[in-house]
Structure 1
């Protein structure tokens, strides 16, 4: 088959010039070293559950008032819960590229949702695990991580739910009620079918990606009205409906997202929460099914998300990706390993590029300095007392957001308390107090809603984070071949994937 060639994207010189501060000799920001501790059991099975569009602050375990996630709450209570995990770009394609390659979007070039495949020169998590002798299987329900974009690299089997024939493995979907092929129920069924094909004598890596609660928020059956009119339902806040808007936009919602002319914000939030509750139930069914198959004896279960969702905050409705607020950047991250991990909560910032190095370290790969690609293993922080052994240096997390296709990017650095946002090309993107801003400093402790710029009140924090952002962005790109890289066959978006991407508003 003909070769496909991909150009690798490098850092923007323009950004370096516009940041315009910092000593050229400043070192790159590195994760702090931590003391060694006794190793964990060798070569555990690895289950990665990712839930599309799941913001952390709508889970009970992260402080939400509604009981949206009883099963995830149990996992969090029994494992290690990272309270401040942050994605590197709040869109599915860029986020998973960073997650699976442990590289930043500014370096791997995936700054657009669909249309740019994962660069072949970057090793994927599944490729590394396969080289370690792991079986690798995936079931995914979002076309943005389809085979067309080379997310299947390293997987023995890669199931795309929207492409699976209606009739398979002796089960006839036509005899059941009409179903969305990407529903969480079907994802669970397909994941269990895939898991039954595993060799019990070898460790496995299974990635299961649920599309719910991605918009449009349409929880099935009894879940649909689960939270409508409950004690947390506030009917007073109304939203603008603009029939001329074909896509979700700032300031209004388009006709395609409206349910029966409903303009109460609480109605849509309740449906979003009900989608979470439905997916939470399916996650539990998946775990029970794997347990029944004998696939849970020595298994690390990780639950996280590709990004969150804006539900009207900052006048941004039912979408994600354009603005770098915590509603879209902050996601859940928990590790569950019964009998091995002690239950604890970690409140320091975490980057999702650290996930792959962590799983590789648990699988037995030697990581010089605890790092793989640009990520750092979280294994020291999984150990009880890991944080107490760490030096006093602050944990930093870096993210980006915006419309990648026209380079209207925004850049973020945060520590345990403060967050700096930089809008280099368009000050109109971030409005605080009716004023467009180039730099904005938020105090996440005092102002979690990110409504007030406190740069003037904390000039030393502003300068420190600005230097850190400069040091991070001007660092050399992750060292891969800068020549055009060759990897396999040409791939085009097929009709099934195009249909799904259009339904999700991606095309």
Structure 2
């Protein structure tokens, strides 16, 4: 038994050929899809990076494992508490790699810098070998592939291994080497991205809107600055030429990564193991490329950010099959357990979709709930053709508290129809409450970490940014947006400290006494 898991950071299914994209971005990924099962409604439960991979590895939703953000208390998993044993649950088979190691007797190998990037060292739990590619997730494929090829050359012919590899090229800033060229320079943009759409997006506000594609974390600023080291990545999108730079930069990142995957697959074929190799291709999250007016970021709990690719090529199982059922990425753990004939861990929250691989049977859920607490605080429900988004902190995007999108008619989430479909919103809220009640019953401390994020000042990538941002809005002719942002987020503008009431009373009494 040999399993290759490819975790392709920030890869949106909307930009892969096998999911219907008009550009040839992914020929090697497409070949794996043709030989396996392609899942079209597959979601990360928790976005973005650290929450997603923590949910995947632990098999638990972020609301229970505790890690839903990129900073503060919610940037770490909850402690096991008084019930913790000599070895924690992640070591005893609760994490994906430790389960595969202990339950399925697989030698587990990781090629990734991710744990160091986000200080999520629980990510390592259960791996026998760990290779940190050393650039904190800023590496290009040419930094990852040599490590992978070296391991394959030395070990691929061995039996019983699980190899997990991270690639990062679709993640901002777009970094495909300039000598790679631009295979898409003469190809049209996605036909929905028109000048009319761009003009509408110019009325929107917030980080990674068309006006501010850059975040200066050191100085807590949203701006349109560019970096000469990343010429494929624009600072803003004032016109359709800049739109082309943005889309081409992302697509080149995917294509460059895909060519390196082709090199990896060729090496595995040379080792004679490709025919019986299980290949799993997925991502931690997608990438908004215009959805909700956001570009080049995974900042929301919506279709653009939370829908991810999932392709499973399992020799002897379904080939060239498409599964449209609703699934979470953490459903992979019980699925592997069933496929490998191992008992699942009782603490896992996922549900096996092994029948989709074995018989092509529809075994999807009625709805899924997805969350985001790093850039905004949102929870959303995907059911039938609908995506309902509930916003608790808008991350300075001025999102409505309730948003509803008909994905059959509006797959890029451009028109909020919540006001026209109150009954649908009520149904979504019922599902959201049902899910929340079930999750809180599983919660060891009865604390919802979304509200921890709110209590600690808001999402990490928004906390402390608004004062500088209001200055930029004034300077760029958008000052009319400032009053509403200030009204919604008074915590970003702390009032001058006032003397305590008792102190003021004592001062008044003292003044009266002095007057006598």
Q: TM-score band (shorter)?
A: 0.7 to 0.9
- The equivalent residue for 1:275 is 253
CA distance 1:292–1:244, shift in 2 (3 Å): closer
Cα distance in 2 for residues equivalent to 1:279 and 1:199: 21
SS of equivalent to 1:308: coil
TM-score (norm 2): 0.71
Look at both structures and tell me which one has the larger radius of gyration over its CA atoms: 2
Post-superposition offset of 1:300: 1.4
Post-superposition offset of 1:113: 2.6
CA distance 1:463–1:203, shift in 2 (3 Å): same
Cα distance in 2 for residues equivalent to 1:110 and 1:129: 23
Of 124, 127, 139, the residue aligned with 2:98 is 127
Cα distance in 1 for residues equivalent to 2:60 and 2:365: 21
- The equivalent residue for 1:443 is 406
- The equivalent residue for 1:316 is 294
SS of equivalent to 2:216: coil
Q: Which has the higher contact order (CA 8 A, sep 6+)?
A: 1
- The equivalent residue for 1:419 is 387
Post-superposition offset of 1:124: 0.9
Post-superposition offset of 1:448: 0.9
Of 141, 151, 164, the residue aligned with 1:194 is 151
Pairing 1:17-416 to 2, within 5 Å after superposition: 44-113=1-70, 116-118=75-77, 121-122=89-90, 123-132=94-103, 133-142=105-114, 149-162=121-134, 182-198=139-155, 200=157, 202-232=159-189, 246=216, 253-256=224-227, 263=237, 264-321=242-299, 323-367=300-344, 373-387=348-362, 395-403=366-374, 409-416=377-384
CA distance 1:144–1:85, shift in 2 (3 Å): farther
Q: Which runs of 5+ in 1 are unaligned?
A: 1-43, 165-179, 484-507
CA distance 1:428–1:109, shift in 2 (3 Å): closer
Whether the 8 Å CA contact 2:377–2:395 is kept in 1: the answer is no
SS of equivalent to 1:331: coil
- The equivalent residue for 1:18 is none
- The equivalent residue for 2:84 is none
Give per-residue Cα distances to partners, 1:209-231, cap 9 Å, x unaligned: 10111111121244332222433
Post-superposition offset of 1:316: 2.2
Whether the 8 Å CA contact 1:78–1:336 is kept in 2: the answer is yes
CA distance 1:144–1:358, shift in 2 (3 Å): farther
CA distance 1:146–1:251, shift in 2 (3 Å): closer
Post-superposition offset of 1:317: 3.0
Cα distance in 1 for residues equivalent to 2:397 and 2:212: 22
CA distance 1:92–1:394, shift in 2 (3 Å): closer
Whether the 8 Å CA contact 1:355–1:377 is kept in 2: the answer is yes
Cα distance in 2 for residues equivalent to 1:253 and 1:303: 33
Whether the 8 Å CA contact 2:226–2:234 is kept in 1: the answer is no
> Which structure shows the higher helix fraction?
2
Cα distance in 1 for residues equivalent to 2:121 and 2:336: 23
Cα distance in 1 for residues equivalent to 2:101 and 2:69: 28
CA distance 1:482–1:129, shift in 2 (3 Å): farther
Residues 1:466 and 2:444 are matched in the alignment: no
CA distance 1:480–1:417, shift in 2 (3 Å): closer
Post-superposition offset of 1:400: 0.5
Give per-residue Cα distances to partners, 1:238-258, cap 9 Å, x unaligned: 986669952599996344477
Post-superposition offset of 1:65: 1.1
Post-superposition offset of 1:151: 1.1
TM-score (norm 1): 0.72
Whether the 8 Å CA contact 2:170–2:253 is kept in 1: the answer is yes
Cα distance in 1 for residues equivalent to 2:305 and 2:70: 15
Cα distance in 1 for residues equivalent to 2:21 and 2:178: 23
SS of equivalent to 2:46: coil
Post-superposition offset of 1:96: 0.4
CA distance 1:430–1:473, shift in 2 (3 Å): farther
Give per-residue Cα distances to partners, 1:263-308, cap 9 Å, x unaligned: 5121121011011001111112112212222333432111001112
Cα distance in 2 for residues equivalent to 1:151 and 1:437: 35
Q: Which runs of 5+ in 2 are unaligned?
A: 79-87, 203-209, 447-516
Cα distance in 2 for residues equivalent to 1:162 and 1:447: 41
Cα distance in 1 for residues equivalent to 2:215 and 2:342: 49
Whether the 8 Å CA contact 1:246–1:255 is kept in 2: the answer is no
Cα distance in 2 for residues equivalent to 1:114 and 1:285: 37
Cα distance in 2 for residues equivalent to 1:306 and 1:482: 27
Whether the 8 Å CA contact 2:372–2:378 is kept in 1: the answer is yes
